[in-house]
Chain A
Amino acid sequence: DTEVTQTPKHLVMGMTNKKSLKCEQHMGHRAMYWYKQKAKKPPELMFVYSYEKLSINESVPSRFSPECPNSSLLNLHLHALQPEDSALYLCASSQVVGGRIHTDTQYFGPGTRLTVL
């Protein structure tokens, strides 16, 4: 099973709303990622978690708040977003072996299409 699932598939929210994106994998991967992708652009890394701890924050604004409650789940809490935050949000996961992330196993979920009005 090489599946990463994400919910919801689509989300429309106002600038004052609070919402959360969810990601789940059952491959035993201990590294999980959030990427943001605008139309016709490549994915841009936002956060990396390794063993449920935040390893990388790519200077993402605080209106995006990641959370990794356990080894299978990754959330992205959204608050006071701007219209320019509208994008496809992708979750991915990788194996960690011997304390090192094996990027050869990085698989993406289907993404959440977010529209901020």
Chain B
Amino acid sequence: GQNIDQPTEMTATEGAIVQINCTYQTSGFNGLFWYQQHAGEAPTFLSYNVLDGLEEKGRFSSFLSRSKGYSYLLLKELQMKDSASYLCAVSLVDSWGKLQFGAGTQVVVTP
């Protein structure tokens, strides 16, 4: 099976920066997703990394190192609405699009 690890919870202040790490041990790795999920709602797509490096989208950036089995999601200029669970998910080659999710990191933004 796949082993995907991310911290359970992180707390940060409004306006600050938070970095959520995700490590994975898989065979046949294809790419890595980050999703945001507010309580009781569906996951919202944030980013997809397949090559090494940093991808920036506004306040959110995602980084991947395939050789290290490591990714992070960087949230800048935190806003109260960023309080949510952030899910790291791995897709495998020839897996019919199956995603293997980490347990999620609950980010709490405080005033």
Identify the A interface with B (CB < 8 A). 31, 33, 40-45, 48, 50, 55-56, 88, 90, 94, 100-104, 106-111, 113
- Tell whether B43 is near chain A: CB-to-CB under 8 Å: yes
Please give the distance in Å from A104's CB to the nearest CB on chain B. 4
Proximity bits, B57-94, A CB within 8 Å = 1, else 0: 00000000000000000000000000000010101001
B97:A31 contact, CB within 8 angstroms: yes
Please give the distance in Å from A113's CB to the nearest CB on chain B. 7
Determine the chain B residues whose CB is within 8 A of the CB of A107 once the complex forms.
45
- Known: A109-B42, A110-B41, A113-B40. Contact between A103 and B101, CB under 8 A? no
Determine the chain B residues whose CB is within 8 A of the CB of A44 once the complex forms.
101
Determine the chain A residues whose CB is within 8 A of the CB of B30 once the complex forms.
103
Contact of B98 among A40, A48, A102 (CB under 8 A): A48
Determine the chain B residues whose CB is within 8 A of the CB of A56 once the complex forms.
96, 98
CA distance A54 to B41 in the complex (A): 26
- Tell whether B31 is near chain A: CB-to-CB under 8 Å: yes
- Tell whether B10 is near chain A: CB-to-CB under 8 Å: no
Contact of B31 among A104, A108, A111 (CB under 8 A): A104
B97:A106 contact, CB within 8 angstroms: yes
A106:B33 contact, CB within 8 angstroms: yes
CA distance A70 to B91 in the complex (A): 25
The 7 A-B pairs at the shortest CB distance, nearest first, are namely A42-B101, A101-B97, A103-B91, A104-B48, A108-B42, A55-B96, A111-B42
- Closest chain A residue, CB of each to CB of B43: A108
Determine the chain A residues whose CB is within 8 A of the CB of B87 once the complex forms.
42-43
Determine the chain B residues whose CB is within 8 A of the CB of A103 once the complex forms.
30-31, 33, 48, 91, 97, 99
CA distance A63 to B80 in the complex (A): 41
